[in-house]
Structures are given as structure tokens and as C-alpha cells.
Amino acid sequence: MSSIPEWSKFTLKISINKPLLEVYDAWTKPDKLAVWFLEKAEYKTSEGAERKSGENIKTGDLYQWKWNNWDVIEKGSVLAANGKDNLSFSFGKAGNVNIHLKEKDKKTEVTLIQVEIPSDDESKMKFHEGCSRGWTFWLVNLKAWLEYGILLNAKGLKQDEVNYLVNS
């Protein structure tokens, strides 16, 4: 019996040997998010005030992300942030991302669920497959950074250098 993939969503999990609030801060403080995931993370409150880099983001905040090694600025909004174990944000044309944290065996279990992914043929590859593979790497990078203080991504490379490394 074959199962038909659910193209409009996917779920990933990873266990990180750090306290829950430390993992939450890595997702919700712009200065920390810019270490393991982005080149730069800027947030503004719904009233337009800039969120300080060491301050946790809140529901309704608007973000502007500068990707590492790509000349792309992603804009979106924080759909939910409860200050302890849940975060949701819009993710461009790729849908929405929900992060759920749970203490388990003195570790933090991170569950990432990307939903509302368009299911046309192009989006299946670009967003379902592309994002699930991308998030797999970034979750491992988060774990490596929090547990061992190392980053697995190359920061500061120009786009042509990244293309050379990928295509070599």
C-alpha cells in the first residue's frame, strides 16, 4: 500500500541538549537568530518601533531578514510568539512555519512544522522539498551552535563563491 505525500506541509524534529528557554531565545532574539540562521534579522513592532537585538520578538512583529550569502531580503510577520515554547511566522510564498519546543529527558525537543505550502508542481519541489531539506540543515546548525559552539554554514561568502563551492 503506497502513501500519497502531503505536499502542503511537513514536520521535522530534533533534540537539542540545552534548556528550553535557551533554545527559544535562539529563535526569538534577533541577535541570536543572526548567528546560526541569517546574516541579519530586523524586527519592528506592529506600531513600527524597532525591536532591540537582544529582546524577544512578539506576536504581530514584522521582520526583515537578510539571508547569508544570498542577495535576498525576506519580509514577513510573527504570527504567534508566546514567550516560552511556541513561535509561528509567515515564510513568504512557502507558507507558514510553526516552532514548538518541549522539554524531554532534560533536553529540548524542537518540532518544526511548515504548513500552507502551495501544492502546484513547481511549489512541490521549490517549497516542500527545498524547504524541508533547508530546514533539516538549519536545525542541525542550530544544534551544533547551541551544543558545541560551532557553525556548519559558511558566513560572509559572496554568491559567486557559494556557487563555486556548490558546483565544484
- What stretch of H or E contains 122? helix 121-123
Every domain of the chain and the residues it spans: 10-167
Give the chain's residues under pLDDT 50: 162, 165-166, 168
Q: How far apart are CA 11 and CA 21, in angstroms?
A: 21
Is the Cα dihedral 142, 22, 101, 124 positive or negative? negative
The C-alpha cell of 100 is what?
Answer: 514548538
Predicted pLDDT of residue 89: 98
pTM, whole model, 2 decimals?
Answer: 0.89
Domain 10-167, architecture per CATH? 2-Layer Sandwich (3.30)
Predicted pLDDT of residue 2: 56
Predicted pLDDT of residue 162: 46
